[in-house]
Amino acid sequence: MPNTPPATSPVVPSATSSIIPSPASGHAEGVSNDEFRAAMSRLASGVVLVTAQEPPLDPDDPTAPGSEDVGMTATAFMSVSLDPPMVLVSLREGSRMDELLDEQPQWAVSVLSESQRHIAGRFAMKGRVSDRLLFADIPYTRGEYTGAPLVGGALAVLECRTEQRVPAGDHTLVIGRVLTARVPSAEGGPLAYFRGRYRQLG
């Protein structure tokens, strides 16, 4: 009988095999915070101002502070549905706007134009002054349904009502049904955000 080589089992790489990449330092999923930020900074996005009206502290007390306008610059904003019309904005978990929209279901969005970079920068500041002062010299009207500020000169303005809140890591995805949508200004191009800076197209 001819000699036959013994049967061999297939080689299975161990859990520590070099075939499997090791996670990047400090991040279990294999991507560091800096790597993720650098990659996503290459994605150009539009810039909007999200606004809402904070209800009065005590509506039954005429001497209590009244309602206050709150605003926040956002670049993570998108359309998610045509029928019904719905949009999504991503808010940092625990931010003032996140906490407000957890209680206040009505809010608004102003799509900023290229000439409104100062508004975007103002409402994106950390350790900023009160929102009342930030709105002081900005022309705006109030939304019919939300009462929230709609910035004058914006390319488009929308009023929304929260339909769903989805926790997503260190952010909250707020999905809103669009109650009104208008295009008050046809002049100028959009304000864009790319590689950590506000930019104009062209």
Per residue in 20-76, pLDDT (tens digit) is 444 444 555 688 888 888 887 777 789 999 999 998 766 666 655 568 899 999 999
Q: pLDDT value at position 8?
A: 46
Q: pLDDT value at position 25?
A: 46
Distance CA 122, CA 128 (A): 8
**Is residue 157's pLDDT more than 80?**
yes
Q: pLDDT value at position 19?
A: 43
Q: pLDDT value at position 154?
A: 96
Number of neighbours of residue 93 by Cβ within 10 angstroms: 13
Q: Return phi, psi of residue 114, to 5°.
A: -65, -20
Give residue 165's pLDDT band: very low, low, confident or very high (50, 70, 90).
very high
Question: Residue 5, exposed/middle/buried by CB under 10 A (0-12, 13-18, 19+)?
Answer: exposed
Q: pLDDT value at position 187?
A: 74
| Strands of the 45-46 sheet, one edge to the other | 45-46, 191-194, 197-200
Q: How confident is the model over 104-151, as pLDDT tens digits?
A: 999 999 999 999 999 999 999 876 667 888 998 999 999 999 999 999
